[in-house]
Amino acid sequence: MSDLKYLFEPRGVAIIGASHNPEKIGYQVVDNIKNGGYRGGIYPVNPRGGRVAGIDACGSIFEVVGDVDIAVIAVPAVHVFDTVKGCARKNVKHLVIITSGFSEIGNTSEEKRIVAFARDHGMRVLGPNIFGIYSAKARLNATFGPQDIRPGGVSIVTQSGAIGISMIGKSKIENIGLASIVSVGNKSDIDEADLLEYIMDQDDSKMVLMYIEGIVRGEHLVEALVKATKKKPVVVIKSGRSKRGAMAAASHTGSLAGTDEVFDDIVKQCGVIRAEKIDEALDLCRFLADAPKPTGNSSVIITNGGGVGVMAADASEKYGVGLYDNQVALRDAFGGEVPDFGSTKNPVDLTGAATAKDYDGALGVALKDKRIGSVICLGCETSMFDAEKFAGVVTKKYDAYKKKKPIVFSVFGGEAVEKGISRLRREGIPIFGDVYDAVSCMGALYSYHRDREHNSGVIPEVNFDERAVKGIVGAAKAKGRHFLFAHEAQEIMGAVGITVPRSRVARDIDTAVKCAQDIGYPVAMKVVSKEIIHKSDVGGVLLDLDNDDEVLAAYESIMHSCREAVPNAHIEGVEVAEMVQSGVETIVGARRDRAFGPIVMFGLGGIYVEVMKDVSFRVYPLSTVEAMSMISETKTYPLLLGVRGDERKDIDSVVSAIMKLGAVIKGCPDISDIEINPLMVYDQGQGIKAVDVRILLGGDNS
């Protein structure tokens, strides 16, 4: 249960640092609260007393007579801690610290001191470094942003103050109503996940838009997102699409797990809709806050132009909007509305001769027909197309059906059309100049409802021999190593139940031959040395050795090349291993992500992993259904299904390997990365083989 009720519905608000100067933030906050229609107690606090924005100011918080649920703090950073101490004595519940000058400029200790004190005294901290909070429910505009905010159904949580303030302005012009907008700034205490947990249960909020820059408590955010998206749509804009975090990574999983790739897949896992641009996000907000659930799985496109119709069909494929394709039903339904030279196929083409009346007829049919789940209505300016009359039809149909069936409009043309679009948008109608913008909104609506109904399945319990794994890892760490040797990694595979090629380490040439005979020809040989990580690069790997003579020669060649290339290396011996039969080469990995905790990866394996980048990620734990979806969204998936007459491969074993690696990372904090490449996948029922296993030890690697 979230404890943020009084942040959104305070009974009294003190503004500490309420300035007499209208140019100052402390004044503007008081003025906004007063003019926003807040009905609780408004208590400006200024040591000089007087009146601020027409309200009597108290000399200190102790002079305030009523209860104070929120203290908005707008005094310089050096005074914030003392102010917070006063708030504790006044039993304030929430501190909204607008002041900048804390962790964002390296003053982290002062920020920590304030938060620790606040938490010790039962207060929660929003900020610092924020523009404040707006809550429609309380008619509270405790921000220094624009004054009149339009109340409505969209809740915005933003890490960037400037973007948040701009969004208030933009939502006003676009006539998008807000249920709340909260600035989280430095997220010293209250973060996006806390706010989401509160907002998801508020009926006045129909959807949530989040602007995120950096993620700190990723596991908490994932939990909140999973719960929230079951209740309402969540759109996320995340900036900072950099690969910086991945640069230093020592495994493929690490280098492929750039912050953005991981984030993208994880938000998908949580059922979140991701927007790249602010305008796109606001369009989604307007549409998703009001749109009813589609009445069926597929949509009908109505157009007066073949070209835009085809573009909309392409966009529908791109954004996952199914198109209704029962040709007989379409002919029956639209036959009376479409001229002989038009088309009743979907897109329904009314032709360039279409008038507003024709649109009225065709839209009427599409909106009434129960088999049609939603409507995409397109128009191109022609001499027959009267923008004014068309706008009249749009308004009439939208008003009549806005609660019954989703509909989006896109019109393309000159000045009259552009003016019409602006006017209709201001009225809250989802109309766009670009076809793709219209269809992407419809796609987001379908995707939201699909994800909501999608049963993400049960998370299975994964057991493995934890003692054995920890024993191997502990021994390696005791020797100061940050990785495991191949044979140790193989032992770990044994402990978790993933098959590896038969192999043994030989410490002299005669034993190498004996090992090869025992394993059976052909064999592979690899150098074992903690100083040599990239074995092939120094001639430390030889494959397809067919007899004793080849093994003898290989042993000498490996020793010679490795000693020459890395003279100081301590060579423990040579690993002699079974040559593995070919199968589909995949990669399976797991690592501890700094923000999200344990994550798992699946993709196309082999030496071109980082070139092809055909990988997907999920947070662990996950259900087998989710693991399947992770596999099926890669381009490698058809290879596992069997192409050109090939048998289907053992996908269940791959799912099981993903689960096992995730469980090892979660259960053994000393392991930071674990990766199998290639993981050979054989025909259904024939299992998998972990050919090369790399395990890194240590803490976070992101």
Residues in the site for ligand ACO, rule: CB under 6 A? Answer: 16-17, 19-21, 24-26, 45-47, 74-76, 79, 83, 98-101, 129-131, 161-162, 165, 183
Asked whether the beta carbons of 309 and 378 are under 8 A apart, the reply is yes
For the bound state, the minimum distance from the C-beta of residue 45 to ligand ACO, rounded and expressed in Å, comes to 5
Residues 6+ positions from 116 with CB-CB distance below 8 Å = none
Whose Cβ is closer to ligand ACO: residue 19's or residue 346's? Answer: 19
For the bound state, the minimum distance from the C-beta of residue 83 to ligand ACO, rounded and expressed in Å, comes to 5
For the bound state, the minimum distance from the C-beta of residue 74 to ligand ACO, rounded and expressed in Å, comes to 4
For the bound state, the minimum distance from the C-beta of residue 21 to ligand ACO, rounded and expressed in Å, comes to 5
For the bound state, the minimum distance from the C-beta of residue 168 to ligand ACO, rounded and expressed in Å, comes to 11
Give, as one character, the DSSP assignment of residue 166.
H
Say how many residues make up the chain: 702
CB neighbours of residue 360 within 10 Å: 17
Whose Cβ is closer to ligand ACO: residue 81's or residue 637's? Answer: 81
Asked whether the beta carbons of 623 and 456 are under 8 A apart, the reply is yes
What is the C-alpha to C-alpha distance for residues 265 and 21, in angstroms, rounded to an integer?
Answer: 49
The closest of 607, 585, 623 to 226, measured between CA atoms, is 623
For the bound state, the minimum distance from the C-beta of residue 446 to ligand ACO, rounded and expressed in Å, comes to 36
Whose Cβ is closer to ligand ACO: residue 45's or residue 387's? Answer: 45
SS3 349: strand
CB neighbours of residue 224 within 10 Å: 24
What is the C-alpha to C-alpha distance for residues 631 and 618, in angstroms, rounded to an integer?
Answer: 10
What is the C-alpha to C-alpha distance for residues 346 and 553, in angstroms, rounded to an integer?
Answer: 70
CA atoms within 13 A on the CB side of 8: 24
Can you tell me which residue has the tokens 């005074």? 79
Q: Which residues pair with 234 in a beta bridge?
A: 208
φ, ψ (nearest 5 deg) of residue 536: -60, -35
Whose Cβ is closer to ligand ACO: residue 169's or residue 685's? Answer: 169
Whose Cβ is closer to ligand ACO: residue 19's or residue 344's? Answer: 19
Alpha-carbon Rg for the chain, nearest whole angstrom, is 31
Whose Cβ is closer to ligand ACO: residue 158's or residue 299's? Answer: 158
CB neighbours of residue 75 within 10 Å: 20
Q: Which residues pair with 597 in a beta bridge?
A: 593
For the bound state, the minimum distance from the C-beta of residue 280 to ligand ACO, rounded and expressed in Å, comes to 22
What is the C-alpha to C-alpha distance for residues 141 and 92, in angstroms, rounded to an integer?
Answer: 18
What is the C-alpha to C-alpha distance for residues 45 and 17, in angstroms, rounded to an integer?
Answer: 6
Q: Does the CA dihedral 109-113-119-125 come out positive or negative? A: negative
CA 237, 238, 241: angle at the middle one, nearest 5?
Answer: 140
Whose Cβ is closer to ligand ACO: residue 182's or residue 208's? Answer: 182
For the bound state, the minimum distance from the C-beta of residue 98 to ligand ACO, rounded and expressed in Å, comes to 5
Tokens of 593: 């992500």
Whose Cβ is closer to ligand ACO: residue 61's or residue 196's? Answer: 61
Q: Is the peptide bond before 669 cis (omega within 30 degrees of 0)?
A: no
For the bound state, the minimum distance from the C-beta of residue 637 to ligand ACO, rounded and expressed in Å, comes to 44
Q: Which residues pair with 483 in a beta bridge?
A: 696
Whose Cβ is closer to ligand ACO: residue 101's or residue 296's? Answer: 101
For the bound state, the minimum distance from the C-beta of residue 488 to ligand ACO, rounded and expressed in Å, comes to 51
Give, as one character, the DSSP assignment of residue 36.
T
CA 631, 635, 641: angle at the middle one, nearest 5?
Answer: 65
For the purposes of burial, counting CB atoms within 10 Å of the CB of 659, is it exposed (0-12), middle (13-18) or buried (19 or more)? buried
Residue spans of beta strands (DSSP E) within 41-115: 41-45, 51-52, 55-56, 70-73, 94-97
For the bound state, the minimum distance from the C-beta of residue 194 to ligand ACO, rounded and expressed in Å, comes to 19
For the bound state, the minimum distance from the C-beta of residue 566 to ligand ACO, rounded and expressed in Å, comes to 53
Q: Is the peptide bond before 621 cis (omega within 30 degrees of 0)?
A: yes
Whose Cβ is closer to ligand ACO: residue 165's or residue 595's? Answer: 165
Whose Cβ is closer to ligand ACO: residue 94's or residue 618's? Answer: 94
Asked whether the beta carbons of 283 and 235 are under 8 A apart, the reply is no
Whose Cβ is closer to ligand ACO: residue 76's or residue 336's? Answer: 76
For the bound state, the minimum distance from the C-beta of residue 198 to ligand ACO, rounded and expressed in Å, comes to 21
Asked whether the beta carbons of 6 and 70 are under 8 A apart, the reply is yes
Single-letter amino acid code for the residue at 146: P
Residue nearest to ligand ACO (CB): 161
For the purposes of burial, counting CB atoms within 10 Å of the CB of 537, is it exposed (0-12), middle (13-18) or buried (19 or more)? exposed
Whose Cβ is closer to ligand ACO: residue 45's or residue 439's? Answer: 45
Residue spans of beta strands (DSSP E) within 221-373: 234-238, 273-275, 298-303, 322-323, 348-349
Tokens of 104: 């964002």
For the bound state, the minimum distance from the C-beta of residue 29 to ligand ACO, rounded and expressed in Å, comes to 9
Determine which helix (DSSP H) or strand (DSSP E) holds 626, and give its type and residue range: helix 624-632
Whose Cβ is closer to ligand ACO: residue 15's or residue 496's? Answer: 15
Whose Cβ is closer to ligand ACO: residue 161's or residue 294's? Answer: 161
For the bound state, the minimum distance from the C-beta of residue 199 to ligand ACO, rounded and expressed in Å, comes to 20
